[in-house]
């Protein structure tokens, strides 16, 4: 059973640090990042700060096809270290879930998208069509579609109940194993081995739903983790997360987390949405020079009440976030942007979502 939204907001402070260390100097680099979340119906960005340790020769912000905020930036000075530090304050509430008991009856929503219709139908098609067909990292595999269909035992139940059944089936039947896959592991291999990480499980579910004619999209962001009882929360021990949003005709997009077998709640913060992981990579780019590199990513997500209770221990995280809309240039020769949800900055070749 899914609890309905009670309009209670929770505030989180998030720190996301990414460091690339190169064997040789990078002479020139151009990057794109989806690193700061945007405002949505159930999410509000109260403030953020982004610091890059290198001077920028060019910087441009915008919105991509899917409405995600991004920042493009270039560095034209030799460097062996790229350090991008993002701090943010985000308010979140649990999404409202459907109360309707209308049976799904196995209807393919693809028919509504690709058949001609009135303006409302055309708007629906424009919104959902990209999330019904193959995408660069998610083929619509018939074996995955058959698996998903077998997990729906009763067509008389509402669509959102059927979606939850598939979500829980992935959690129960697949094994979380960070060593089993890499970012580019083919989906067919993931499905065959039944092992992977959040990126893999989200993309398996999306493939199955698209095969059933249900629009589904990939979501990247953060999830609140819970330390063992009696143990402190470890700063930097969190990670980016991935989950699914599926279209329910009488309601809209519903968030589902197959890695944990549950509906999205007020413990999730959205960074970006797209067809698959390739659309929402937090940090990607092209460099000239550099040779081999090492990547170090550190993420900390703290509820506001823990920040206040911990006192000086987490004061640094709190102080890095500026709730006002100011732009500031740092005094170490790098670049800092501070503001509200209208701006964001940057990164590198392709940080994994694990």
- pLDDT tens track, the chain, 354 positions: 454 456 799 999 999 999 999 999 999 999 999 998 889 999 999 998 889 999 999 999 999 999 999 989 999 999 999 999 999 999 999 998 887 766 776 666 666 656 655 555 667 777 888 999 999 999 999 999 999 999 986 667 888 889 999 999 999 999 999 999 999 999 999 999 999 999 999 999 999 999 999 999 999 999 999 888 888 777 777 889 999 999 987 788 999 999 999 999 999 999 999 999 999 999 999 999 999 999 999 999 999 988 877 664 444 454 445 443 333 323 234 554 454 433 222 223 344 444
Partnered with residue 85 across adjacent β-strands are: 17, 51
Per-residue model confidence (pLDDT) at position 101: 67
Per-residue model confidence (pLDDT) at position 174: 98
What residues contact 242, with CB distance under 8 A and at least 6 apart?
A: 198, 199, 201, 202, 218, 219, 220, 221, 259, 277, 353
What is each CA distance from 264 to 137, 224, 282, in whole angstroms?
A: 23, 11, 20
What residues contact 186, with CB distance under 8 A and at least 6 apart?
A: none
Per-residue model confidence (pLDDT) at position 109: 67
Domains and their CATH numbers in the chain = 16-93+281-298+316-339 (2.60.40.2250), 110-265 (3.10.620.30)
pTM given for the model: 0.86
**268-274 vs 216-223, strand pairing mode:** antiparallel
């Amino acid at each position: 059973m899914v609890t309905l939204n009670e309009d209670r907001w929770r505030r989180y402070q998030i720190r996301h640090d990414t460091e690339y260390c190169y064997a040789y100097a990078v002479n020139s680099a151009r990057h794109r990042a989806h690193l700061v979340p945007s405002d949505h119906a159930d999410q509000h960005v109260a403030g953020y700060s982004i610091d890059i340790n290198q001077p920028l020769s060019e910087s441009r912000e915008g919105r991509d096809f899917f409405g995600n905020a991004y920042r493009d930036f270039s560095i034209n000075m030799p460097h062996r270290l790229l350090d991008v530090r993002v701090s943010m304050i985000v308010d979140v509430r649990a999404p409202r879930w459907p109360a309707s008991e209308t049976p799904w009856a196995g209807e393919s929503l693809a028919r509504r998208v690709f058949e001609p219709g009135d303006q409302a139908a055309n708007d629906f098609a424009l919104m959902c069509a990209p999330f019904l067909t193959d995408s660069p990292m998610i083929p619509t595999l018939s074996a995955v579609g058959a698996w998903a269909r077998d997990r729906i035992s009763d067509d008389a139940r509402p669509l959102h109940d059927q979606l939850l059944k598939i979500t829980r089936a992935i959690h129960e039947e697949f094994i979380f194993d960070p060593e089993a896959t890499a970012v580019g592991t083919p989906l067919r291999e993931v499905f065959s081995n039944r092992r992977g990480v959040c990126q893999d499980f989200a993309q398996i579910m999306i493939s199955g739903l698209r095969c059933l004619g249900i629009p589904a999209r990939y979501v990247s962001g953060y999830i609140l983790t819970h330390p063992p009882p009696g143990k402190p929360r470890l700063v930097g021990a969190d990670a980016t997360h991935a989950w699914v949003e599926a279209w329910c005709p009488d309601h809209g997009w519903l968030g589902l987390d197959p890695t944990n077998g549950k509906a999205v709640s007020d413990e999730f913060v959205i960074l970006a949405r797209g067809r698959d992981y390739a659309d929402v990579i937090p940090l990607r780019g092209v460099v000239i020079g550099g040779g081999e590199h090492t990547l170090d990513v550190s993420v900390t997500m703290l509820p506001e009440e823990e920040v206040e209770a911990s006192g000086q221990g987490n004061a640094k995280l709190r102080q890095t976030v500026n709730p006002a809309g100011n732009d500031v240039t740092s005094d170490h020769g790098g670049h800092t942007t501070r503001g509200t949800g209208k701006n964001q900055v940057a990164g590198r070749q392709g940080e994994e979502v694990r």
